[in-house]
A and B are shown apart, each in its own frame.
Chain A
């Protein structure tokens, strides 16, 4: 599988990372090296093998359905770039 510069642009858009036209070729070259390494794994016979998503085969615990956290929005929002009246400010998305 060859990774094109267009592929790099597409995944960079999906990842919400701006890549300048000047950077794209260099990123493409390095990603291609990484995928050469990764592709070695694709030849392994894994028919019938159940995927392993965690290092420990334990079921996730359930807890009682009750409030356990206090409202600390002022503390948590104190590190935000822009807030107003308890709301995070972002550029307008609806005209």
Chain B
């Protein structure tokens, strides 16, 4: 395979090439590093790259493959969102607060992918502390969308999404608290999965909102996401919300041979609320076309109503900042991270350290969270939000009695211009209007490329299923990808030959 073909290959194809010794992990990793060097100056998708470490890991993977001990991911390069801790490699969270922080241990999902033999190439850029929908608030500058460098890639995992979309790397991790995997996946034309809450351990994920944070994979296809999830999902006693359950092979339904109507018997729910006003006409047309395709593949459609979903953005902007204000209190200039250079006393040190270390959006969310948890406001905001959260979850549970998969757009529009929404936090928050409910309820949700706007920007299809129904979700996406080629389209990037 040529270097160009390799950078467009699926994880399964790469594993076959590696197992057959037609390519080494070292060659593959060198190719990734070259493409990264060529494209990252324009995209700013990576915050930290460690070529020596990557090449050493690639050599170790080659030795493992040579010894016959390789698995389906051994020797394949990966990048981690820079909110997942990596022992020995800087973890910044895109913040001045942690600009020089080297974690003493690795996140669980980082360990799991390392044990599978994946080669860690670097850490990807993001909105500061994963708070944002455009990847513009990073201390290290904004990430650009590979389809249009004047546009945002979405966020907060925008660096991972842009790196996979630009074919720099075949796989990456992200985290999703309100849509931070799925929305950038949609805006860059790749697949992004937010698994069920509790399926992938949060150990070593720098906490933003603990009841809503989910680690998950980015790749180009549903099959690749299934392979990554096979390695990432496991019980971990160090995360008290990690669920103890039998491991499953998430590719098992995808691998089944079926006829011309592979989705026969699958019921797809179409909530009225996902098809109404506020959705861009080109996005709506692409979603309608995807529904038609799924019907051709044998799926039945069911109309749903989820009226409480409209409250998910306000509920989220109480619960997530409340949890963030508590979680981010650990950044006090004492145990790690930035400390102000001059201060009058201990309280002043805290205040100056945090004023200097955090950016404007992180501060805003801490302030909102502090307010809603403060004396006299707790019941009116935090408790109220938790009650509405239950109403939304109950509505979803009733919806899933009538269908297997809930379908809609990931985001109301395709990628927007850099700077277009930075001055209006509420407009930025409304990007996540369709994704937040899956965080509140904990159900698995996937973003799948389903078309382009006339301006050439990708559109994402949002599929949600019941708790732990990832295999079903990935199967529906896989059958759709067998019938369409949206996920194989690549951005034409300046200064780099199209693979």
Give A contacts to B, CB under 8 Å. 3, 7-8, 11-19, 27, 30-31, 33-42, 44, 46, 49-56, 58, 60-61, 63, 72, 75-82, 88, 90-91, 93
Contact = CB atoms under 8 A, between A and B. Distances in A.
* Interface band, chain B: 35 or more
Interface string B348-375: 1111101100100001101110111010
Contact of A81 (B339, B354, B439): B339
B317 A27 contact: no
B104 A79 contact: yes
Contacts of A12: 367
B384 to A, nearest CB: 6
B198 interface: yes
B387 A16 contact: no
A38 B387 contact: no
B335 to A, nearest CB: 5
With most chain B CB atoms within 10 A of its CB, the pick from A31, A38, A49, A77 is A38
B363 to A, nearest CB: 6
Contacts of B337: 79, 81
A44 B467 CA distance: 26
B346 A76 contact: no
Interface in B90-114: 101-104
Given A11-B371, A17-B366, A81-B336, 19 more contacts: A7-B371, A14-B374, A15-B325, A17-B351, A18-B354, A31-B367, A34-B425, A37-B313, A42-B384, A46-B387, A52-B386, A54-B442, A55-B198, A56-B442, A60-B241, A77-B335, A79-B104, A79-B335, A81-B334
Contacts of A30: 364, 425
Contacts of A58: 198, 241, 243
Contacts of A76: 104, 335
B182 interface: no
B367 A17 contact: yes
Kindly list the 7 A-B residue pairs having the minimum CB-CB distance in the complex, ordered from nearest.
A55-B442, A51-B386, A46-B387, A41-B314, A55-B197, A52-B390, A18-B351
A19 B370 CA distance: 15
Given A53-B211, A79-B104, A16 B332 contact: yes
A82 B353 CA distance: 14
Contacts of B103: 79
16 contacts: A16-B347, A33-B426, A34-B429, A37-B429, A38-B381, A42-B380, A44-B308, A44-B311, A51-B390, A52-B389, A55-B198, A58-B198, A60-B241, A76-B335, A79-B104, A81-B339
Nearest to A3: B371
B246 interface: no
B197 A72 contact: no
Contacts of B389: 51-52
A46 B391 contact: yes
Contacts of A44: 308, 311, 384, 387-388, 391
Interface of B: 101-104, 197-198, 211-212, 237, 240-241, 243-244, 308, 311, 313-315, 317-318, 325, 329, 332-339, 343, 345-352, 354-355, 358, 363-364, 366-368, 370-372, 374, 380-381, 383-391, 393, 424-426, 429, 439-442, 467
Nearest to A93: B346
With most chain A CB atoms within 10 A of its CB, the pick from B308, B314, B385 is B314
B361 to A, nearest CB: 10
B314 A37 contact: yes
With most chain B CB atoms within 10 A of its CB, the pick from A40, A51, A60, A78 is A51
Nearest to A68: B237
A40 B311 contact: yes
A38 B321 CA distance: 11
B318 A63 contact: no
A3 B383 CA distance: 20
With most chain B CB atoms within 10 A of its CB, the pick from A55, A60, A91 is A55
Given A17-B363, A31-B367, A76-B104, A51 B383 contact: yes
A93 B313 CA distance: 42
A3 to B, nearest CB: 8
A63 B240 CA distance: 10
Given A15-B367, A33-B424, A82-B339, A53 B386 contact: yes
A91 B393 contact: no
Contacts of B347: 16
Contacts of A40: 311, 314
A56 B104 contact: no
